[in-house]
Amino acid sequence: MQTKKILGFKTYFSQEDNVFITEMGKITVLHLGNPDDAVIESRIREIIREEEHGEDFDDNCPCCQEMRKNPHTITYFEEGWDEGEGEEY
């Protein structure tokens, strides 16, 4: 897996698996498909904006409140992304 920095966040990528993984502290972002850097950058900016303004989770949702406190993963799927013939879990 190769790495690069996008907006200062380490992003791992595997062209073979069509997956990009961005580490943003307690948030891990999976980009499935093959998004370009501009798309990944836009997603990172959106997550930062939502966290800064408290728009990331619903205040009346107990599950959302737990996610706000704990590490979690956000997954984006590119149009046409196909899981392929991988193992089922």
* Whole-number pLDDT of residue 80: 58
The residues pairing with 32 across neighbouring beta strands, listed in sequence order, are 19, 77
Neighbours of 17 (CB within 10 A): 12
- For the stretch 9-56, pLDDT in tens is 999 998 788 889 999 998 999 999 888 999 999 999 998 888 777 666
**Domain residue limits, the chain:** 2-77
Token pair recorded at residue 11: 């992003």
The structure tokens 């580490």 sit at 23
Would you tell me how many other CB atoms lie within 10 Å of the CB of residue 13? 21
